[in-house]
Amino acid sequence: MSVHKDLELHAQKQNQLYKKFVSLDQQREKYIEEAVALCKEGKEFTTEQINEVTEQINLLANQRLIPTRKLVTPEMVREYVESLK
């Protein structure tokens, strides 16, 4: 019986970890979209918030089967915006 409880607890922890990852990944995408929009308008932007969330994601990834994410540089955003033209 305790094996079943252990498995259930493990599954709950995995589910919580995955939900946190999804939330952080969505937040990261939002920040990326904001940086891209500002870059398209020729306005100043920063990748600081993107990379703060990326670091949090990568800390989670060290714990389990969560994919890591790359840090984003302003040059990466500019290159992406240029590729859209």
Tens digit of each residue's pLDDT (9 = 90 or more) over 1-60: 588 787 888 778 888 888 999 999 999 999 999 999 999 999 999 999 999 999 999 988
Total domains in the chain come to: 1
Domain holding 54, by residue range, is 2-84
Burial label for 2, CB within 10 Å (0-12, 13-18, 19+), is exposed
Task: Give Cα separations from 84 to 13, 32, 39, 69, 77 (angstroms).
Answer: 40, 15, 12, 22, 11
pTM: 0.78
Phi/psi zone of residue 72: left (φ > 0), alpha (ψ -120 to 50 degrees), beta?
beta
Nearest CA-CA partner of 25 in 63, 70, 62, 64: 70
**Axis-axis angle for helices 2-40, 48-63 (nearest 10):** 160
* Residue 64 pLDDT greater than 80, yes or no: no
